[in-house]
Structure 1
Amino acid sequence: MSSSLSGKLSIEIEAKSSARSMYEANAKRLYDVPKLCPTYIPKVDLVEGKWEDVGAVVNFHLAHVVRGNLDFRKGKWNIFHLFGCLGSEVILEIDSLIKGKTLISKEIYEHKDDEKLSVTFKVIGGLLMEAFKSFKFIIQATRKDTGCLVRWTLEYEKLKEDVPDPKEMLQFAVDLTKEMDANLIGHQDLYTFKKKKKKKKKSLIL
């Protein structure tokens, strides 16, 4: 891997939800993601496997690029700069976003760690693959006395040197996490996750 093409970006977000709730929402209840962050991911399709299983393939429909606060036309998400070197077909696909279509990111559920509360998704299809040879999202929730700290890490390798680092995606991670956190807090009755307790074996009394 060329050091000039590879990169790693990360950001930490304070959340009021518990670390377990945030982890479970991102790792084991992907079908609930559109309910928890409808502004940014209005739809998730299961393409292959089972929702909770490592190896599952899902399509995330990303809508942030056409929202007011992250409109690429205003320069907040300079998607033309990011993919402009790829040719007219890509520009036409991006242009279709103006009509309200979402950007699809096809990802494989690569890894999860129930102890460290970490989950990794590897992008295997969609527009990002037009600019990057590899791209991963790593989301980890760390417990705090009150709430948790959510760390997003982007690991990537660019196809060309003139492709800019995807720094704008960190703001997407911040906004998505804040919306998810607010909905987790607002619906604690529905999204309260607890560790499963091991059943104690009863002694046989003769």
Structure 2
Amino acid sequence: MGLKGKLIGSIEVKCGGHSIHDIIHTNPHHIPNIAPNVLNHFEIHEGETIKVGSIVSWKFNQGGNEILFKDVVESVDLEKKSITWKVIGGNMLELYNSFIVITSSEHQWTTVTLQYEKKTEDTPEPLTLLGVLLNGLKDIESHLLKK
């Protein structure tokens, strides 16, 4: 059994993938208000916005448990509407040696990719987390469609 894995989930969004990317890239501090059942907290620790080198933290709800990510933004591709976040702290690193989250959007689709290395073969695949992140994207879409 391999310890490295990749999970990819995509959802079709009526508001356009570019709109989802714009919220994540330029207004991530609004996401806890947009998706309070998914995201409890967002904070920028270093940097002013989501730029390469910015350090941010997120607190998610997963089945009644709080998941904390502290990330450094590794890359932002405005043309491809993609952001790569490397987890550098938080309780996700209790189960995984490395964890990267990639958000990308194109046309009517938004995609979340999780790349990870489990500490042991018994560590579960982060399927529930992928579902939580996709639900957050659906909440962002609903918010944008109300406007």
Give the alignment's TM-score, normalised by structure 2.
0.92
Which of 59, 62, 81 is the aligned partner of 2:60? 62
Moved over 4 A (4+): none
Cα drift, residue 170 of structure 1: 2.0
Tell me if 1:152 matches 2:112.
yes
Q: C-alpha distance in 1, partners of 2:126/2:62? A: 14
What percent of counterpart residues are identical? 29
Which of 133, 139, 145 is the aligned partner of 1:179? 139
Tell me if 1:128 matches 2:128.
no
* Correspondences of 1:48-197 after superposition (within 5 Å): 48-66=46-64, 97=65, 102-143=66-107, 148-187=108-147
Structure with greater proportional strand content: 2
Greater C-alpha radius of gyration: 1
2:16 is matched with which residue? 18
Give the alignment's TM-score, normalised by structure 1.
0.67
Q: C-alpha distance in 2, partners of 1:33/1:51? A: 14
Q: C-alpha distance in 1, partners of 2:139/2:62? A: 12
- Runs of 5+ in structure 1 lacking a partner? 67-96, 188-206
- Runs of 5+ in structure 2 lacking a partner? none
Cα drift, residue 63 of structure 1: 2.2
2:41 is matched with which residue? 43
Task: Work out the number of aligned pairs and report it.
Answer: 147
Cα drift, residue 53 of structure 1: 1.8
Aligned-pair Cα RMSD in Å = 1.5
Residues 103, 167 of structure 1: CA spacing in aligned structure 2 closer, same or farther, 3 A cutoff? closer
